């Protein structure tokens, strides 16, 4: 399996030159074929729960660009939905979860794991249709990031509600974190059983935590997930992406023992190469705005990132998700530059 899939080989510790490439949020709003399908299907959640449509969205960027990895089209908030919160997406306002756990107890929720069944069906459909050389990536949100939404009931400025809750009642907040972690292990294991080759943990809001809280609410739950998932699927690589972790990245890498680490665009790639464990594969970390800018900004950024990892296994990616106003021609140019 490994040699025919360059991305999977790199996640397992092999260096490839040129590096394999995929982009976070590569299945999404910058593609006209995605916008057409979403308009036809209605809302975002309807698209996620329509397995045939979600599989088509996952495959669209592979057909158009030939990325080395396909990322499952879904959302990190399907876990709170499966834990019993109601999930809606308001046009122009983002997700809403009810009831928010800042005012309600976790044990008042009625678990609904069947809500995840369409996602496993999406995985099976994509796995059957992907080219042999393409690595299929599953994913989940990390417990801290998912908890920020569950507590506030929506995205929140600086994740203040969850941070206050964690200081005020660490036992109750810890129960939320543990519930998310345990559900996430089952969710990722089911994705692997259905056909993904590797998984990524998105901790989009890890940068808002003080160092001791980062250790408690980011590193410790990630260790819990990695340990349990490895017991069930020892050969499946796990990518950790603690966005905003900055100087806490080396500790995250050492203590979680993830197989690869994602770097956001604020991390100096040369610094990361010096400070991360020797031989640990890294992923990243082009600024999504440099991709929009194109031209010399794109060229110099790609050269700097490529040059920062002369011996380390590297997956080329953005430092965060591709933005909706990204020109398709710039994505094509990026692939030319990376693969040159």
75 catalytic per annotation: yes
pLDDT of residue 248: 97
Q: Which residue has the tokens 């299929």?
A: 136
In this predicted structure, what is the pLDDT of residue 42? Answer: 84
225-236 confidence digits (pLDDT tens): 999 999 999 999
149, 153, 159, 162: CA torsion to nearest 10: -90
169 in any annotated domain: yes
Reported as a single tens digit per residue, the pLDDT across 170-226 is: 999 999 999 999 999 999 999 999 999 999 999 999 999 999 999 999 999 999 999
Nearest by Cα to 247 from 218, 207, 286, 201: 207
With bands split at pLDDT 50, 70 and 90, how would you rate the model's confidence at 157? confident
The boundaries of the domain holding residue 35 are 6-339
Distances (CA, A) of 61 to 116, 119, 290: 24, 19, 20
In sign, the C-alpha dihedral spanning 100, 214, 286, 134 is negative
pLDDT in tens, 17-53: 999 999 999 999 999 999 999 999 888 999 999 999 9
For residue 216, indicate whether it is catalytic. no
- Give the active site residue among 149, 165, 187, 252: 149
Q: How far is CA 7 from CA 10, 120, 148, 274, in A?
A: 5, 22, 31, 23
Give me the catalytic one of 75, 182, 186, 268.
Answer: 75
Indicate whether 126 belongs to any domain.
Answer: yes
Active-site choice (12, 15, 16, 38): 38
Domain count, the chain: 1
Is residue 91 pLDDT above 90, yes or no? no
Entry pTM: 0.97
Which CATH number does the domain housing residue 71 bear? 3.20.20.210
Q: Does 120 fall in a domain?
A: yes
Active site residue 149: yes
Q: Is residue 27 part of a domain?
A: yes
29 catalytically annotated: yes
1 in a structural domain: no
Q: How do strand 86-90 and strand 314-318 relate by DSSP bridges?
A: unpaired
| Each residue's pLDDT tens digit, 270-323 | 999 999 999 999 999 999 999 999 999 999 999 999 999 999 999 999 999 999
Annotated catalytic residue, options 5, 25, 125, 312: 25
Catalytic pick from 16, 29, 64, 96? 29
């Amino acid at each position: 399996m490994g040699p025919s899939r360059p991305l999977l080989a790199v996640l397992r510790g092999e260096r490839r030159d040129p590096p394999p490439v995929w982009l976070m949020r590569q299945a999404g709003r910058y593609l006209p074929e995605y916008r057409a399908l979403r308009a036809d299907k209605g809302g975002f959640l309807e698209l996620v729960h329509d397995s045939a449509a979600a599989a088509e969205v996952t495959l669209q960027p592979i057909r158009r660009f030939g990325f080395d990895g396909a990322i499952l089209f879904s959302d990190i908030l399907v876990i709170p939905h499966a834990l019993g919160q109601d999930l809606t997406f308001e046009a122009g306002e983002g997700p809403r979860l009810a009831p928010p756990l800042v005012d309600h107890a976790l044990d008042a929720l009625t678990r609904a794991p069947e809500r995840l069944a369409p996602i496993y069906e999406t995985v099976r459909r994509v796995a059957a249709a992907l080219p042999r050389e393409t690595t299929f990536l599953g994913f989940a949100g990390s417990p801290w990031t998912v908890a920020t939404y569950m507590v506030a009931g929506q995205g929140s400025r600086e994740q203040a509600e969850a941070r206050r809750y964690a200081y005020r009642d660490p036992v109750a907040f810890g129960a939320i974190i543990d519930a998310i972690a345990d559900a996430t292990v089952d969710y990722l294991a089911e994705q692997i059983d259905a056909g993904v080759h590797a998984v990524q943990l998105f901790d989009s809001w890890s940068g808002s935590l003080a160092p001791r809280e980062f250790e408690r609410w980011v590193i410790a739950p990630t260790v819990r997930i990695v340990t349990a998932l490895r017991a069930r699927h020892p050969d499946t690589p796990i990518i950790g992406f603690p966005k905003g972790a900055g100087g806490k990245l080396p500790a995250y890498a050492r203590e979680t023992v993830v197989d690869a680490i994602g770097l956001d665009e604020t991390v100096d790639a040369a610094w990361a190469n010096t400070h991360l464990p020797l031989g640990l594969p890294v992923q990243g970390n082009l600024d999504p705005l440099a991709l929009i800018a194109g031209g010399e900004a794109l060229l110099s950024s790609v050269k700097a990132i490529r040059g920062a990892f002369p011996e380390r296994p590297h997956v080329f990616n953005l430092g965060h998700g591709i933005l909706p106003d990204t020109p398709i021609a710039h994505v094509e140019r990026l692939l030319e530059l990376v693969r040159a």
